[in-house]
Amino acid sequence: MKLTEATIVALAEHLENCELQARDTPKITLDHPEMDWDDAYAIQDEIMRRKRSRGARIVGLKAGLTSYAKMRQMGVETPVFGFLSDGFSVLDGGAVATGELIHPKVEPEIAFMIRTPLRGPGCHVGQVLAATDFVVPAIEVIDSRYRDFKFDLKSVVADNCSSARFVVGGMMRNARDLDLRTTGVVLEKNGRVVALGAGAAVLGHPATAVAELANHLGRRGAEIPAGTLVLSGGITEAVSVARGDSIRLRVHEMGSVSVHFS
């Protein structure tokens, strides 16, 4: 680690305040170019600790930048991992208060509900599928705290990977009955198709993103706990939204999920 404990705490407070006050900021590596990966995850962990100390519960985890569309869009090429707090959850068909966000975008994702703990190293698609209770479609709402979504990987990790809101559909499917590689997704904004793709866009199979999350946590002496919802990453490029927009995600044989930006 290159940053002092005091700097990590100060950067976590700064980034979380930007989140809570819907303010943007230049990326933090401009002032801290020496920051390393451990520093970046330590800042994210400190944001989690701050939320927990106010009574928040961590209800899920996420992988990000797991599809080529997302890597190309953001100009980076390594998956990153973050957490989902209970306050990020929006009900299917519900509304996101747009004024609480800076410049939100939506992503079509497949979410895994994990029944038995998953721990790397060596975690693979087979173990993920065996440990999965069910899969559901999900819309992730991302909102980078960095000005114009301009960041590098370490800055985005420190910012909890742009996590802001997520919406989960109510039709659960057994992953054993599906070939998630060919599962098609259609994302609609105000009734018009704005993005489409298939599960294989995420590292060849969305469960690979969950395995990579378990391997990442394993290197840090942690695991994916039972009962965790895991978002496996945007299948297509993220789509910008504004107040008044209605979003619907249709996923082949997995139903649909929708959200409105009020």
DSSP 65: S
**Taking CB under 6 A as the rule, does residue 137 contact ligand OOG?**
no
Q: Please provide the DSSP assignment of 55-94 as one string.
A: T--EEEEEEES-BHHHHHHHT--S-EEEEEEGGGEE-TT-
Between CA 210 and CA 135 the distance in angstroms is 12
**Taking CB under 6 A as the rule, does residue 108 contact ligand OOG?**
no
**Taking CB under 5 A as the rule, does residue 143 contact Mg ion?**
no
Between CA 233 and CA 111 the distance in angstroms is 9
Tokens at residue 87, please?
A: 């306050």
Among 201, 234, 241, 249, binds ligand OOG (CB under 6 A): 234
Among 12, 60, 64, 259, binds ligand OOG (CB under 6 A): 64
Among 16, 39, 107, 245, binds Mg ion (CB under 5 A): 107
CB of 19 to ligand OOG, least distance (A): 13
Q: At what angle do helices 5-21 and 37-53 cross, to 10 degrees?
A: 60
Between CA 35 and CA 48 the distance in angstroms is 19
Q: What angle do CA 106, 248, 85 make, to 5 degrees?
A: 50
Tell me which H or E stretch contains 193. Answer: strand 192-198
CB of 6 to ligand OOG, least distance (A): 27
**Taking CB under 6 A as the rule, does residue 152 contact ligand OOG?**
no
CB of 253 to ligand OOG, least distance (A): 22
Taking CB atoms, the residue at the shortest distance from ligand OOG is 64
Between CA 120 and CA 124 the distance in angstroms is 9
**Taking CB under 5 A as the rule, does residue 108 contact Mg ion?**
no
Q: Which stretch binds ligand OOG (CB under 6 A): 15-23, 25-33, 232-240, 242-250?
A: 232-240
DSSP 204: T
Residues that bind ligand OOG (CB under 6 A): 64-66, 70, 74, 107, 140, 142, 144, 149, 156, 161-162, 233-234, 238
Residues that bind Mg ion (CB under 5 A): 64, 107, 140, 234
